[in-house]
Amino acid sequence: MSMNQQSLLPTLPVEIVYYICDCLDAKTILISFRNICRRLRNIINNYDNYILDFKNTSQSDFRLICQLINPQRVKSLTLYQQTTTFDQTIFFDKQFHVKDFNRLRSLTLIAIKESRLRDVLKHINISSLVSFSLEIGEHKKQHDHVTATVLTSILTRANLRKLALNIEQNRIEAIEWPDSCTIEQLKIDKCIDFDCIRGILRHLPRLKTLTIDCHSIETIHPTNLTAYCQKLTSVSLEKLNMNIADLEFLLQSMPSLIDLKLTGNGNYFDGHRWEKFIQKNLLGLKKFQFYFSDYQNGQLNYPDIEQIIRSFQTPFWIELKK
């Protein structure tokens, strides 16, 4: 940076300083940018849009940032159980007081020990959360009720809109979902069966976006889910291995879909069949992404590649859905 550029920084309007901060990580703001001059320090002391992502943070940087940050000025926090020698949640628990993070909008907990969950959340004003993501890295039977109890409490908060879970199915099944849950985006990374999905969807009348791991769903019960999926506009089904008929039965319960993404292993390559299905059941679909493979007896099964390609070269795909 030239001397002229450096001399301009202290004269920048407050709005520009805040915009620059929005583009920087917390360490750069607190240790470098904030210490350029007294005026910038005073301005940045009032900055309240911090995003703390400790996913790839060293132990020393983690401790330093926690000591410098004002928790009331943090809007997003990500904690990550990186190693067995240093548990971020333990230092976090010692450094901050109850409800210190009273303006937090987004909380992400990655590979967290189930036994530490309550210790972290006592520092958070749960009512302010709009987004919550939880991945349990160490499940223990004696704590299985903790996760369900905590999630039940969080789901009763009126502001929560986005939820991502990577926890065991028995924890998910133990959650007491409120009847008028406000969740609009749901992602479940662990394998869950069809009954579990159905039980969740019936409590989410506002759900618009759904991403689920379908590896454990091999068959679909003849239950119409349309009443629970009226507002679903974006769906991603991952690790599919059910047959095409069951997949179609599931998708026809989602008539409002605009964006659909499918990944999995199975005989899903017939473009003509997809064309007919979409024209009949998903009239509003604008974006369709699929990543399919077909393995049989450990070998990649190649049917007529040209035939597959031609099935996706009709006017429907080339002109209407291009």
Could you state, in order of their start, the residue ranges of all structural domains in the chain?
A: 1-47, 49-168, 184-322
Structure tokens at 314: 């009709």
What pLDDT does residue 295 have?
Answer: 64
Nearest-Å Rg of the Cα atoms of the chain is 24
Q: Where are the alpha helices (DSSP H) in the chain?
A: 3-8, 14-22, 26-27, 38-44, 59-68, 88-95, 117-121, 144-155, 169-173, 194-201, 244-251, 271-281, 305-311, 315
Whether the predicted pLDDT of 4 surpasses 90: no
Q: How confident is the model at residue 272 (pLDDT cuts 50, 70, 90)?
A: very high
How does 54-87 read in b/e, with b if 16+ C-beta sit within 10 Å? beebeeeebeebbeebebeebbbbbbbbbeeeeb
User: pLDDT tier at 85 (50, 70, 90 boundaries)?
Assistant: low
User: Among all chains, which residue has been given the structure tokens 């240790």?
Assistant: 31
Cβ partners under 8 Å of residue 121, min gap 6:
150
Strand, coil or helix: 25: coil
Q: Are 168 and 136 in contact, with CB atoms under 8 Å apart?
A: yes
Classify the phi-psi angles of 298: left when phi > 0, otherwise alpha if psi is within -120 to 50, otherwise beta: left
Beta bridge partners of 300: 295
Query: Is the pLDDT reported for residue 116 higher than 80?
Result: yes
The strand pairing partners of 53, in sequence order, are 78
Tell me, what DSSP letter sits at residue 119?
Answer: H
Place 6 in a pLDDT band, splitting at 50, 70 and 90.
Answer: low
Most confident listed range (168-177, 223-232, 287-296): 168-177
Q: CATH number of the domain at 184-322, please? A: 3.80.10
Q: Six-digit token pair at 43?
A: 């301005």
- The answer, as to whether pTM is greater than 0.85, is yes
pLDDT at residue number 145: 80
Write down the pLDDT at residue 123: 85
DSSP lists the bridge partners of residue 123 as none
pLDDT (0 to 100) of residue 302: 58
CA of residue 191 relative to chain centroid, distance: 15
Picking from 304, 254, 307, the residue whose alpha carbon sits closest to that of residue 277 is: 254
The answer to whether residues 10 and 33 touch, using CB atoms and an 8 Å cutoff, is no
Mean pLDDT of 78-98: 80
- pLDDT tier at 64 (50, 70, 90 boundaries)? very high
The SS3 assignment for 57 reads coil
Q: pLDDT confidence of 86, banded at 50, 70, 90?
A: confident
The answer on pLDDT for 82 being more than 70 is: no
Alpha-carbon distance of 5 to 155, in angstroms, equals: 48
Q: How far apart are CA 33 and CA 310, in angstroms?
A: 57
d(CA 166, CA 257): 25
More confident residue, 309 or 294: 309
Mean per-residue pLDDT of the chain: 87
User: Within a 10 A sphere around the Cβ of 190, how many other Cβ atoms?
Assistant: 18
Q: Mean pLDDT throughout 271-294?
A: 92
The secondary structure element, H or E, covering residue 91 is helix 88-95
Nearest by Cα to 236 from 256, 213, 267: 213
